[in-house]
A and B are shown apart, each in its own frame.
Chain A
Amino acid sequence: MSSRLRRVAALGAVAALSLGLAACSSNGGAGEDEGASSGPIKFGVALPDTGNSAQYGEYFRQGLDLALEQINDDGGIDGRSVELVYEDTQADPAQAPQVAQKFVDDESILAVLGDFGTPATSAASQIYQDSGLVQFAFSASGPDVTDPGDFVFATWVSQEFEAPRLAEFAGETGKSAAVFYHDTDWGQETYGFFQEGEEQSGLEEVYSTAYDPESTDFRPLLLAAKAANPEVIVLISYAADGALITSQARELGIDTPIVGISSIYNQQFIDLAGEAAEGVQTLSYFTPDNEDPEVQQFIADFADATGEATPSDYAIRAYDALNAVAQGAERAEELTRQGLRNALDDGQPFNSVLYGEYSLDDTRRVSDAEQFPLVITDGAFTIQ
């Protein structure tokens, strides 16, 4: 008798499990909002809220929340308010497709912004493309990001243009370089284009090394670089690890000038490296010294909203991305996924803080934009 009860219990458990699973399936699927023209307009955001890249997710939210507030204060899009649906991917390529599928299934979502970095972004692209939902990638700089198809857009200037310019810029500081680059898809790709730039600008490379951005001790690498006697150290880094390399170099008594790629443009770099940051140079699309009234207005609004005087590159990119998608939605003839895609791809210009007025080329990317040479003096990025 007890064995029968046991059977019932087992069966009950299985049934409960499958019911539970089936129940969770329904919350993503139902799309009763479809075609409704009065409810809020929803965009998805795929970003890292947890995990090792969580800090970039925080930057994204700063920019997105500010843009969202401004859009809704101005009356939304065609009188409809805008909502953002955030989903955490940890910027993990294994989780990004899951989130993509979830957005695709939710028919009220008109477009998706994100993810952080090329790997997580690309891992999801095929699902967006196959289902006809716009993926607006604002933080992915791989040269092939938009290859999956016409629903994928990318606003980061390809490293194809940025990296050779960095080589030329570094060449103005010294004739021989030691290059530190991320041992990631982004770092390898960028380093490849940087080498092409070295050849063109006659910069000699005396040392180069890939490194894990999560490493904490760069002294062995710096000692090896020092032995090669470079005239300039080039960082293809993010702000946090770039700052660490910079401060450890100065501690070891290496006073070679340091030039970093635009990703180090972040107040965090100065906060983390402290004194050692002085004199570090970079090229950036953004500078608080830009006198454009729109840029100045943005800086003031950002400080009001977050209490931070200097917005990071990532927050600005996120801010611009939501505005671009909103501008596309304004222009769209009909506000559907397809309609929005067509509007974003109509060749007309977008307004942004980072690039000023820009338009997308036929690969749906920002082809190139002006960069300002900056140097850190007295704890701030200033125009050279």
Chain B
Amino acid sequence: MSGDLLDILLAGLVSGSTYALIAVGVSLVFGVSNIVNFAHGAVFAVGAMIAWWLTGPMALPIWVAAPSVIVITGLLGWAIYLVAVRPLRKAPGIAVLLATFAIGVILDNLSLRFFGGQTRRLESAFPRDNFELLGFRFGTLSIVIIGVSVVCVAALVWLLGYTKTGRAIRATSQDQEAAQQMGIPVERIQALSFVIASALGGLAGVLVGMYTSNVSPAIGFLAGLQGFAAATIGGLGSIAGAIVGGLVLGIAEAFGVSLWGDSVRQLITFGSLLLVLWIRPGGLLGRVPSITSEPMTGTFFGAGKPLRLPSWAGVAAAAVLAVLPLVASDYFLRAGSQVWIYALFALSITLAGGFAGQIVLGQAGALAIGAYTSAILVTQFEWDFWLSFLAAGAAACVLQVMLTAPTWRLKGHYVSMATLAAGAVVSALALNLPQITGGSRGISSIPRPTLFGESLGSASAMYWVTLAILLVAVVVVARLGSSRLGRVWAAVREDEVAAASAGLHPASYKSLAFGLGAVIAGFAGALYAAQVTFIEPKQFDVSLSVLAVTIAILGGLRAPVGVIIGAAILVGVPELFRPLADWRLLLYGVLLLGLVLLRPQGLWSHVGWLQRATQRVAGRRGGGGGTASGSQRKVDSTAGEETRA
């Protein structure tokens, strides 16, 4: 079945070198700033599209176009740093990660508006098929790609090892605060890393675009993920590792794809990513950074003090939401049930993230398991929906806990990445197990649920069912947060070492929070399948996981009620943008970026200026009256503690 082994090895090396080129930029930024830059793929795609535009419609020669692309994407990198990274330098890694994701959405859609959605041909400046080695044909272009990667490594090794700037970069990557105290302009160094990385990303866009010859504004996201996987496999922060990771991934994919077909590509990419994180989390050439206080825990969650909703207000709000079907249109109600399902989905993030302090970036996997479990049981085995609903929660919990069990000893970004990989592996498995899941064709005509023999297919019934389940789940999760278990989670979250020395086993408690979260995500998946009535692997991609995290964070991670507001804004508002068609996703990106920048601590938490204003009013009215100012001072001091924590 397979071609000549050497042919395939060479094909893998050549395509691996394209991954490597993308991975170098990802790794550089991570090494210097400890930031996972999700906008890198978009910069890559923008570079490819600008190269097409300059050489195609503008008819410029490539030796003008390529340097222009490098300059433009370099400036773009600087802009990304200024807009998405610098304002969040005090915020935790996850906020920056979300901001770069938002930038990626914005760039992709700006490029779509500017260049149009069509796939274009990027003429290669170098021949692609002028050499033959052992029967395999390749071209000067491949040699240029490999050459550029190697030159990059050499240049960076020289820069890092033998220059003053390099020393500054290394110092910054080891300990930002110490570097700052030594007089190193940390911000300038980080900005520089974004400029270099993005210029490299642009160059990668030109060369890889020439290699594949088809370019379109949509190529960035997947390329970014593959580059990210390659960088992690090689060892994040290690430039040579990025190249080794790219080549390893390219060869593994080439053999896998030629043996088992194209559908295993994702499985290989994310499967090997997950495997590396299990066995050798630092990657092939990297080391897990030894910094003990990693950016994901502690500081961030303290920043947002959840608002406490008085119970009467909660009941009133729930009542208002519950009577909406009496006045609202069906379209509004269908959108409403969609919002509640996403809110439930995001609630699962709140459990692991807000309570146990662990951001989960692959929760779409749990949603997928729930959706598939319910859909398969209902369509093939004619189960009652509600039984399948319970099974969906159980299956999501068991499978997800198994997939992530080995990762809980990791820290910071590495856990998030392992969960991201696990989520992507679930989606890839759904594609590769057609006997069970229908493969790429998915499962269609999923029946609407029934209750006591009555169909719940109508828009208002689905709205009520989803709202009721959401409200119950919110109350349960909120109770859990203030229970004894919730306090143990808080202990693990606030100080893992202290918790461990108090005899708690942090990994088990994190795993428990994650497992319970997966149950909720599984429930959400069952509802999702019933609402959408058609599921396929592509629906459960990384963007969906990121959306859930964003909803949870914007809602205020520690406030379960917040997911309702977060989902209403991030799922409901884009629905309002629908008449704007072309600009919709762009506005979604801007909304996302704006929210992350303005409210990184979440919406459902105290608003600084509002609080100051109310205090001023209260202070004036109280006129120094003992009790009023006393209680106010107390509020002040707790708020202060929270920000400092």
Q: Which A residues contact B (CB, under 8 angstroms)?
A: 1-3, 5-7, 9-11, 13-15, 17-18, 21-22, 24-26, 28-29, 49-52, 54-55, 57-58, 86-88, 92-94, 97-99, 101-102, 104-105, 119, 122-123, 126, 183-185, 187-189, 207, 209-212, 214-221, 223-228, 240-241, 243-244, 247, 250-253, 268, 271-274
Asked if A272 meets B578 with Cβ closer than 8 Å, knowing A54-B218, A97-B532, the reply is no
Q: Are A224 and B3 in contact (CB under 8 A)?
A: yes
**Residue numbers in B under 8 Å from A272 (CB-CB):** 119-121, 213-214
**Residue numbers in A under 8 Å from B316 (CB-CB):** 11, 14
**Residue numbers in A under 8 Å from B611 (CB-CB):** 2
Q: 14 interchain pairs (CB within 8 A)?
A: A18-B321, A21-B336, A25-B331, A55-B118, A88-B578, A97-B532, A97-B533, A98-B338, A185-B536, A189-B441, A217-B212, A220-B8, A223-B3, A250-B129
A332–B14 CA distance with the chains assembled, in angstroms: 61
Q: B257 is contacted by which of A28, A51, A88, A220 (Cβ under 8 Å)? A: A220
**Residue numbers in A under 8 Å from B610 (CB-CB):** 9
Most chain A beta-carbon neighbours within 10 Å: one of B261, B331, B459, B581: B331
Q: Are A87 and B121 in contact (CB under 8 A)?
A: no
Q: Are B116 and A99 in contact (CB under 8 A)?
A: no
Least Cβ–Cβ distance between B19 and chain A, in angstroms: 10
Closest to A251 in B: B129
Q: Are B3 and A21 in contact (CB under 8 A)?
A: no
Q: Are A93 and B332 in contact (CB under 8 A)?
A: no
A97–B576 CA distance with the chains assembled, in angstroms: 15
Q: Is B470 an interface residue (CB 8 A)?
A: no
Asked if A1 meets B334 with Cβ closer than 8 Å, knowing A217-B15, A220-B257, the reply is no
**Residue numbers in B under 8 Å from A273 (CB-CB):** 121
Q: Are A5 and B614 in contact (CB under 8 A)?
A: yes
Interface residues on B, range: 35 or more
- The majority secondary structure among interface residues of chain A is helix
Q: Is B287 an interface residue (CB 8 A)?
A: no
Give 12 A-B pairs besides A2-B618, A122-B444, A220-B3 with Cβ atoms closer than 8 angstroms.
A7-B310, A17-B565, A22-B324, A24-B575, A52-B218, A87-B579, A93-B536, A223-B8, A223-B258, A241-B214, A253-B129, A271-B121
Chain A-chain B contacts (Cβ-Cβ < 8 Å), number = 254
A58–B310 CA distance with the chains assembled, in angstroms: 51
Q: Are A253 and B137 in contact (CB under 8 A)?
A: yes
Least Cβ–Cβ distance between A93 and chain B, in angstroms: 4
A161–B49 CA distance with the chains assembled, in angstroms: 39
Q: Are B116 and A101 in contact (CB under 8 A)?
A: no
Q: Are A220 and B309 in contact (CB under 8 A)?
A: no
Q: Are B330 and A221 in contact (CB under 8 A)?
A: no
**Residue numbers in A under 8 Å from B575 (CB-CB):** 24, 98
Q: Are A50 and B219 in contact (CB under 8 A)?
A: no
Least Cβ–Cβ distance between B560 and chain A, in angstroms: 15
Least Cβ–Cβ distance between B635 and chain A, in angstroms: 6
Closest to A272 in B: B121
**Residue numbers in B under 8 Å from A97 (CB-CB):** 334, 532-533
A339–B7 CA distance with the chains assembled, in angstroms: 63
Least Cβ–Cβ distance between A334 and chain B, in angstroms: 25
Q: Which B residues contact A (CB, under 8 angstroms)?
A: 1-4, 7-8, 11-12, 14-15, 109, 112, 116-121, 128-129, 132, 136-137, 139, 212-214, 216, 218-219, 222, 253-255, 257-259, 261-263, 265, 307-310, 313, 316-317, 320-321, 324, 327-332, 334-336, 338, 431, 439-442, 444, 459, 532-534, 536, 539, 565, 568, 572, 575-576, 578-579, 581-582, 584-585, 610-611, 614-615, 617-618, 621-622, 628, 631-632, 635
Q: Are B12 and A220 in contact (CB under 8 A)?
A: yes
Q: Are A101 and B568 in contact (CB under 8 A)?
A: no
Q: Are A94 and B3 in contact (CB under 8 A)?
A: no
Q: Are B129 and A93 in contact (CB under 8 A)?
A: no
Q: Are A240 and B119 in contact (CB under 8 A)?
A: yes
A57–B330 CA distance with the chains assembled, in angstroms: 26
Asked if A251 meets B15 with Cβ closer than 8 Å, knowing A17-B568, A209-B262, A220-B258, the reply is no
**Residue numbers in A under 8 Å from B635 (CB-CB):** 2-3
Least Cβ–Cβ distance between B84 and chain A, in angstroms: 22
Q: A25 is contacted by which of B332, B441, B444, B539 (Cβ under 8 Å)? A: B332
Q: Are B137 and A252 in contact (CB under 8 A)?
A: yes
Least Cβ–Cβ distance between A112 and chain B, in angstroms: 13
A5–B440 CA distance with the chains assembled, in angstroms: 53
Q: B309 is contacted by which of A10, A105, A250 (Cβ under 8 Å)? A: A10
A224–B572 CA distance with the chains assembled, in angstroms: 47
**Residue numbers in A under 8 Å from B320 (CB-CB):** 14-15, 18
Q: Are A244 and B214 in contact (CB under 8 A)?
A: yes
Q: Are A123 and B112 in contact (CB under 8 A)?
A: no
Asked if A2 meets B584 with Cβ closer than 8 Å, knowing A11-B313, A93-B539, A210-B440, the reply is no
